[in-house]
C-alpha cells in the first residue's frame, strides 16, 4: 500500500510503501539512513547490514534518485514527521548522479539557473506551500463575502497603469499590449454584479532591477460598486488579516524552515494605521526620523566592521585545521561570512540612498521604495497612506473634493520595511471629469470609449484595489528578494528557465 509521508504516523507497525526522492543519506558502517521526501514531508528510512543486498543498493544511490521504499512504520515522536520506516524493500526508479545542488551554499545566479531543480530544497518547498495558502486565503476572503470571480483579458488595447511599462505585441497588424491590470474590465463587471474580483498574471516592463519588481506578477483585484475610501480600507484589513491568519494556522513548520519571526506576523490585527501622503512626507522628513535613519546606518557600519575584523581569525583557524571535515566546515563559514558582509554593504548603501532621497523629497512625487521602507519600519502593523498627489497617480483615480490636488487613493504599506503591497482607489465616475483627465495625460481616448460608457450608462461611485501576490509572499515569508516568491520569476535580467 502506498502511503504519503504526512500520513505515515497513522500506520504504526504496518508494512507500507513510500514513493519519492532521496533528499540525503547518512551511513555509519553497519547502518544506513535514507532521507526520502515525497512533497508531503521527509521520512528517515533505516536499513542495516543484515540485509546485504538492500544495504549495497542504498550505498549506490545519488541525491535525488527516485525510489519506492517498502518497510515497516516505526512511530517515534522524536523523528521528523513522527515516524520512521524500517526498510524491507527498495526499488530504484532512477538512480540520479551528480545532482547539481548540494547542501553547500550556492550563489543566487547558480540557483536561479537551476530554478527547476532548486524547488526541491526545504526552503523553496516552504515558500511554494505558503504561496499556495496565501492565494487560497485571498480567494476565500472574496468568495465568502459574496464577490464573483471575473476573468479579465491578458491581451489588451490601451494602457491603464502608464505607457512606460507596457509590453507591446503585434496583434495581427494592430498594436496590443499585455495586461498591466484587470481593473478597467473589472469595473464594467462591477456595474453588472456589484462585487467582483479578478486574479491573474499581470505584466509590467519594469526597467529597474530592484528587490521588489517583477515583469510578470500575479495580482488579486476586487472592484466594488458604491464603495468609498473607507469601504476599501475595511476590505484590505479583512483580506490581509485573513491571509495572515490562514498562514499562521497552517504553516508554523514552514515558517520555522524560513526562520520567520512569527511574533511579527501575530501582531497584524485590524485596525491598521492610517495617514495621508502629506503626513507621511512630514514624517519621513522629520528630525526624529532623519536621526533614526542616520543612527541605523552608523550601527550597521559598526556591525560590518566587526564582521570584517573577524575574518582573519576564521582564516587562521582554517590554516590550522587538520581534519578534512573541519576544513570544509570552516571554509563554508568563511564563505557565509563573506556573503553576509557583501549583503550588509549593499544594505548600507541602500540606506544611505534612502536617507539622501528622503532629505531631498518634495511634495508631489510618488512615494518611492526609500520613503515606503522608512514609514513601514515605524509601525508593527500595516499602514494605509491615502491622498497622494493627483499628478503622481493613474488617470482613473477620483480627486478628493476636500483637497482636489490629491486623489481618493490608498496604498497599503506592509511593516518591517516591505512597503507597498496593495494599491487602490475610488474611481472617477463622472464622464466629463474622466475625459478631461485622459486628455490631460495626453492619452488617446479611442481605446477607452467602452470604459467611458460605464460613465454614460448608470454610473455610480465605485472603487477597488490590487494586492500583489509576490510582495505579499515576500513579506509573510520574510524574504529579502521577490525572486524566490514565484515559481519561475521574470525580471529584466531573466526569462529562463
Q: Which residues of 76-103 are buried (b: 16+ CB within 10 A; e: fewer)?
A: eeebebbbbbebeebebeeeeeeeebee
**Cell numbers describing residue 13:** 507497525
* Residue 414 found at the interface with ligand 4AD (CB under 6 A): no
Binding pattern for the stretch 235-274 against ligand 4AD, x by CB under 6 A and - elsewhere: ----------------------------------------
- What distance in Å separates the CA atoms of residue 47 and residue 67, rounded to the nearest whole number? 14
Instruction: Determine the interface stretch with ligand 4AD among 34-42, 133-141, 361-369, 416-424 (rule: CB under 6 A).
Output: 416-424
Residues from 410 through 429 that contact Mg ion (CB under 5 A): 423
Which of 71, 415, 468, 489 forms a contact with ligand 4AD (CB under 6 A)?
Answer: 468
Select 20 or 424, whichever has its Cβ closest to Mg ion: 424
The separation between the first and the last C-alpha atoms of the chain, rounded to the nearest angstrom, is: 36
Backbone phi and psi for residue 315, each to the nearest 5 degrees, phi listed first? -65, -35
Kindly report the number of other CB atoms within 10 A of residue 363's CB atom.
Answer: 12
Contact 8, 73 (CB under 8 A): yes
14-36 exposure pattern, b = at least 16 Cβ within 10 A, e = fewer: eebbbbbbbbebeeeeeebbbbb
Stretch in the footprint of ligand 4AD (CB under 6 A) among 328-336, 437-445, 450-458, 462-470? 462-470
Query: Bridge-partner residues for 21, per DSSP?
Result: 37, 66
Name which of residues 207 to 236 contact ligand 4AD (CB under 6 A).
213-214, 217, 219, 221
Write the DSSP symbol of residue 452: H
Cβ 471 to ligand 4AD shortest distance, Å: 4
Helix (H, G, I), strand (E, B) or coil at 150: coil
The verdict on 181 binding ligand 4AD (CB under 6 A) reads: yes
CB nearer to ligand 4AD: pick between 122 and 478: 478
Which of 25, 131, 204, 462 binds ligand 4AD (CB under 6 A)? It is 204
Cell of residue 388, nine digits = 497622494
Piece in contact with ligand 4AD (CB under 6 A), picked from 100-108, 109-117, 206-214, 375-383 = 206-214
Q: Which does 181 bind (CB under 5 to 8 A by kind): Mg ion, ligand 4AD, none?
A: ligand 4AD
Choose between 451 and 465: whose C-beta lies nearer to ligand 4AD. Answer: 465
Minimum distance from residue 217 beta carbon to ligand 4AD (Å): 4
At closest approach, how far in Å is the CB of 31 from ligand 4AD? Answer: 49
What is the closest distance, in whole angstroms, from the C-beta atom of residue 379 to Mg ion in the complex? 19
Least Å from the CB of residue 101 to ligand 4AD: 26
Q: Taking the complex as a whole, how short is the minimal distance between the CB of residue 377 and ligand 4AD, in angstroms? A: 18
The region of 281-289, 345-353, 400-408, 466-474 touching ligand 4AD under the rule CB under 6 A is 466-474
Cα separation, 473 vs 463, in Å, equals 25
Residue 182, SS3?
coil
CA distance 344 to 297: 10
How many C-beta neighbours within 10 Å does residue 306 have? 9
Which 419-438 positions form the footprint of ligand 4AD (CB under 6 A)?
A: 420-425
CB of 491 to ligand 4AD, least distance (A): 9
Q: Tell the smallest beta-carbon distance from residue 386 to ligand 4AD (Å).
A: 14
Judge whether 367 and 383 are in contact, CB under 8 Å. no
In whole angstroms, what is the distance from residue 437 CA to residue 321 CA?
Answer: 71
Number of residues in contact with Mg ion under rule CB under 5 A: 1
Minimum distance, C-beta of residue 121 to ligand 4AD, in the bound complex (Å)? 23
Sign for the pseudo-dihedral over CA of 261, 199, 139, 257: negative
Sign, CA dihedral 276-281-287-289, equals positive
Spatial CB neighbours of 290, under 8 Å, sequence gap ≥ 6: 355, 358, 359
Does position 183 interact with ligand 4AD (CB under 6 A)? The reply is yes
**Which residues would be at the binding site for ligand 4AD (CB under 6 A)?**
161, 181, 183, 204, 206, 213-214, 217, 219, 221, 420-425, 464-466, 468, 470-471
**Which residues would be at the binding site for Mg ion (CB under 5 A)?**
423
Amino acid at each position: 500500500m502506498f502511503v504519503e509521508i504526512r500520513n505515515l504516523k497513522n500506520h504504526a507497525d504496518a508494512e507500507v510503501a513510500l514513493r519519492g526522492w532521496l533528499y540525503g543519506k547518512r551511513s555509519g558502517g553497519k547502518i544506513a539512513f535514507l532521507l526520502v521526501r515525497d512533497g508531503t514531508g521527509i521520512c528517515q528510512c533505516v536499513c542495516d547490514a543484515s540485509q546485504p543486498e538492500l544495504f549495497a543498493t542504498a550505498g549506490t544511490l545519488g541525491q535525488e534518485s527516485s525510489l519506492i521504499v517498502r518497510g515497516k512504520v516505526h512511530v517515534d515522536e522524536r523523528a521528523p514527521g513522527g515516524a520512521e520506516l524500517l526498510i524491507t524493500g527498495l526499488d530504484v526508479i532512477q538512480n540520479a548522479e551528480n545532482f547539481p545542488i548540494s547542501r553547500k551554499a550556492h550563489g543566487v545566479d547558480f540557483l536561479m539557473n537551476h530554478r527547476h531543480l532548486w524547488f526541491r530544497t526545504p526552503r523553496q518547498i516552504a515558500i511554494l506551500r505558503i504561496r499556495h495558502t496565501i492565494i487560497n486565503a485571498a480567494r476565500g476572503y472574496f468568495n465568502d463575502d459574496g464577490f464573483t470571480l471575473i476573468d479579465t483579458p491578458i491581451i489588451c488595447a490601451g494602457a491603464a497603469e502608464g505607457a512606460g511599462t507596457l509590453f507591446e505585441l503585434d496583434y495581427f497588424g494592430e498594436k496590443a499590449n499585455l495586461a498591466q491590470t484587470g481593473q478597467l474590465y473589472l469595473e464594467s463587471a462591477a456595474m453588472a454584479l456589484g462585487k467582483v474580483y479578478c486574479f491573474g498574471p499581470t505584466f509590467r516592463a519594469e526597467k529597474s532591477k530592484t528587490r521588489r519588481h517583477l515583469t510578470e506578477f500575479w495580482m488579486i483585484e476586487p472592484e466594488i460598486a458604491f464603495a468609498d475610501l473607507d469601504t476599501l480600507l475595511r476590505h484590505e484589513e479583512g483580506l490581509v488579516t485573513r491571509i495572515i491568519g490562514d498562514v499562521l494556522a497552517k504553516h508554523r513548520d514552514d515558517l520555522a524552515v524560513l526562520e520567520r519571526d512569527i511574533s511579527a506576523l501575530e501582531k497584524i490585527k485590524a485596525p491598521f494605521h492610517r495617514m495621508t501622503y502629506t503626513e507621511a512626507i512630514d514624517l519621513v522628513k522629520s528630525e526624529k526620523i532623519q536621526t533614526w535613519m542616520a543612527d541605523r546606518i552608523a550601527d550597521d557600519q559598526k556591525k560590518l566592521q566587526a564582521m570584517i575584523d573577524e575574518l582573519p581569525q576564521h582564516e587562521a583557524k582554517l590554516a590550522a585545521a587538520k581534519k578534512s571535515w573541519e576544513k570544509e566546515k570552516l571554509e563554508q563559514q568563511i564563505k557565509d561570512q563573506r556573503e553576509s558582509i557583501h549583503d550588509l554593504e549593499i544594505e548600507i548603501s541602500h540606506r544611505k540612498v534612502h536617507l539622501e532621497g528622503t532629505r531631498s523629497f518634495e511634495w508631489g512625487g510618488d512615494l518611492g521604495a526609500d520613503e515606503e521602507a522608512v514609514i513601514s519600519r515605524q509601525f508593527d502593523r500595516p499602514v494605509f497612506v491615502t491622498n497622494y498627489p493627483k499628478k503622481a497617480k493613474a488617470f482613473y483615480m477620483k480627486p478628493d473634493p476636500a483637497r482636489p490636488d490629491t486623489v481618493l487613493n490608498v496604498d497599503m504599506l506592509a511593516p518591517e520595511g516591505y512597503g507597498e503591497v496593495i494599491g487602490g482607489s475610488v474611481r472617477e465616475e463622472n464622464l466629463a471629469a474622466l475625459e478631461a483627465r485622459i486628455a490631460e495625460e495626453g492619452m488617446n481616448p479611442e481605446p477607452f470609449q467602452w470604459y467611458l460608457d460605464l460613465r454614460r450608462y448608470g454610473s455610480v461611485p465605485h472603487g477597488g484595489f490590487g494586492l500583489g501576490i509576490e510582495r505579499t509572499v515576500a513579506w509573510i515569508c520574510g524574504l529579502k528578494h521577490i525572486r524566490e516568491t514565484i515559481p519561475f520569476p521574470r525580471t529584466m535580467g531573466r526569462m529562463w528557465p
